[in-house]
Amino acid sequence: MAPPKKKDFKGFSEWDSQPKQEAKPRASSKVSKNGTNSISNESSTAPTEGSKRTDRRPLPGMLGNMGTPRSQASPTTAPKVASSSRPPPRPGQKYPNIVLGDQKRPDLTPAQKIKRVKGIYWITGLGVYALSSYGVYLYIQYGKAVKLQEENEREYSLGLKHRPEVDTNKVYEKISGNYDSSVRFSEWFMGMSLLRRWMLWGLEGDILEASAGTGRNNPYYHAAKCRSITMVDNSPKMLEIAKTDFQSRYPHYGHISFAAQDASQPIKSPSGEGFDRVIQTMGLCSQKSPVETLKNLEQHCRPGGKILLLEHGRSHYNWLNSILDAYVLDHARSWGCFWNRDIGKLLEESGLVVTKISRFHLGTTWLIEASPRPRKRTGTGELGPDSE
């Protein structure tokens, strides 16, 4: 119904009995005690006489809504929305009218929780079982190794048994065809590929690789940065495999040469002035004269160059060294490798200037960075040790 007239009103003869209906502000719902919703509208109650409105809104026009009650005038501001109806939009959202709630994972059922816990227990149990089994295996091998080593030393001292000599060249010629497939998994498991990549990272200039083998370092060469690459190895068959693999990986690289020779012998460089970088991977364990090999590699490294070695030998721990000593001959007959050599002692005897040593796998793997000693040129153009 229309609001009552005032006695002193003199503007219009009558009120419109059916005023124009306009948009009403959204009603807020309240829940009563009995659980039913009661809707209350703030604008549904007409102002009484003598009451003062504190929420006056400006008229939309001069005469546009003068015939309508003030309580039904269209609001100029958006009505308030209950805070529980919709969360505020996320900052930077493309469509602010669409509010996305937090994407939470659905709660797991009790059966799923039990299944997950069982999976964790199984994985943990298998890990503990594997570690304990490996520990028991090492303990048994250590006991056998100590007894075997004591018996061998007693027979050597009495002359009942002579230390056998193993020709590593013949061993490598025999196993060259299956060598890569035999060591691939063990090297991957021990992370040797990462160490090889680390050693060859940033190689440039003239490169010499001694004891190249079947070319297991080939995938990690940056051939575009290398002026030339020279590979040498005692085994012609293994070097042929390395050559085939390198040419298949870098078919357009032509500055490479291969020489089947001992790394302790003189090596010809493309420029005749030595190499910028000299690398060797697992070579000292199979060399007949490892100290002479290190000295020769030093002679072929230019002043200011680097010698990078990735070798394996004696460990930090005596119990592991006992196992290496006891089974060294069996390992050498199978793989052409004497895995119990003291790499630190060999470096000291060679006279190399060692700048960095990193050891892995209980100290059996050595990553070495060294530099040649200062020297002067001889009259023949070769580099010789400094006599000063």
Contact 272, 381 (CB under 8 A): yes
CA distances from 193 to 6, 140, 243, 255, 267 (A): 98, 30, 19, 25, 27
pLDDT, tens digit (0-9, with 9 covering 90-100), for 118-153: 888 889 888 888 888 878 877 787 777 777 777 877
Q: Which element (helix H / strand E) includes 207?
A: strand 205-210
Query: Residue 323: what residue type?
Result: I
Query: Residue 245: what residue type?
Result: D
User: What's the CA gap between 216 and 282, in Å, rounded?
Assistant: 11
Query: Which residues is 258 bridged to in the sheet?
Result: 231
Q: Is 109 left (phi over 0), alpha (psi -120 to 50) or beta?
A: beta
Per-residue confidence (pLDDT) for residue 46, from 0 to 100: 46
Q: Which of 219, 382, 206, 388 is nearest to 306 (CA)?
A: 206
Give the residue ranges of the chain where pLDDT is below 70.
Answer: 1-106, 161, 163, 376-388
Per-residue confidence (pLDDT) for residue 230, from 0 to 100: 96
Beta strands at 353-360 and 365-371: parallel, antiparallel or unpaired: antiparallel
User: What's the CA gap between 264 and 272, in Å, rounded?
Assistant: 17
Per-residue confidence (pLDDT) for residue 375, from 0 to 100: 73
User: What's the CA gap between 197 and 142, in Å, rounded?
Assistant: 33
Q: Which of 114, 285, 270, 126 is nearest to 205 (CA)?
A: 270
Contact 161, 155 (CB under 8 A): yes
User: What's the CA gap between 269 and 275, in Å, rounded?
Assistant: 7
Q: The tokens of 259 are what?
A: 């020489």
H-state helical runs in the chain: 110-158, 168-175, 179-190, 192-200, 236-249, 290-299, 318-326, 328-335, 343-350
User: What's the CA gap between 192 and 180, in Å, rounded?
Assistant: 13
Per-residue confidence (pLDDT) for residue 44, from 0 to 100: 45
Q: Crossing angle for the helix pair 318-326 and 328-335, nearest 10 degrees?
A: 60
Contact 278, 341 (CB under 8 A): no
pLDDT, tens digit (0-9, with 9 covering 90-100), for 149-190: 778 777 777 777 676 778 898 999 999 999 999 999 999 999
CA distances from 248 to 13, 241, 255, 280 (A): 105, 11, 15, 22
CA distances from 169 to 236, 241, 260, 339 (A): 9, 15, 11, 16
For the chain, the C-alpha Rg in angstroms (whole number) is 43
Per-residue confidence (pLDDT) for residue 132, from 0 to 100: 86
3-state secondary structure of 190: helix
Query: Residue 117: what residue type?
Result: V
Query: Residue 191: what residue type?
Result: G
User: What's the CA gap between 230 and 239, in Å, rounded?
Assistant: 11
User: What's the CA gap between 170 and 250, in Å, rounded?
Assistant: 30
User: What's the CA gap between 304 and 15, in Å, rounded?
Assistant: 106
